[in-house]
Amino acid sequence: MKLHETWLLKADNDLKSSKKLMEGEDVVPDTAIYHTQQCAEKALKAYLAYKQHPIVKTHDVEYLIELCSEYDPEFGNLIEESETLNPYSTIFRYPGPVLEPEQEDVYEAIEIAEKILTSVTEKINILERDKEAEEKPEEKKEQDR
């Protein structure tokens, strides 16, 4: 498994976790919302890994989007969403004035995390297809020799 694929797997597991934690009667919104931020962070790190960019130790989703934007300016369209998710890396992880987010905020965060993960996955898939298309003519030239 390639490095970017392991990041995508971890991102997908965070998304699944956030959804499962909001199922049924005994929901866990503080942990669920944390996993939405983690999903976005890991998805963006997957893209950076695919681009062979050094993975920075940060939980700042906005910063990661800025780094990804250096390779693909379309990532800039996700800045607003990243502003929503960024605080969830810590805000409900520890005791504070507010212990749990509103459930509607969790569902919104799940949608945003899914959007970011889907966007990254689609971008990598397109790049992979383009890469394969470029390699095939080269293989044919080699075979023709």
Q: Which domains does the chain have, with CATH numbers?
A: 3-144 (1.20.120.330)
- What's the predicted TM-score (pTM) here? 0.91
> What angle do helix axes 29-50 and 103-144 make, rounded to 10 degrees?
20
Distance from CA of residue 130 to its chain's centroid?
A: 22
Residue 136 pLDDT level (bands cut at 50, 70, 90): confident
pLDDT cut 90: percent of the chain above it: 86
CA distance 25 to 133: 49
Range name among 6-15, 34-43, 91-100 with the lowest pLDDT average:
91-100
- The 10s digit of each residue's pLDDT in 21-39 is 999 999 999 999 999 999 9
pLDDT for residue 143: 59
CA distance 50 to 27: 35
Helices (H), 1-145: 3-20, 29-50, 61-69, 79-85, 103-144
> Is the pLDDT score of 141 beyond 90?
no
CA distances from 79 to 27, 34, 55, 61, 121 (A): 28, 18, 19, 9, 17
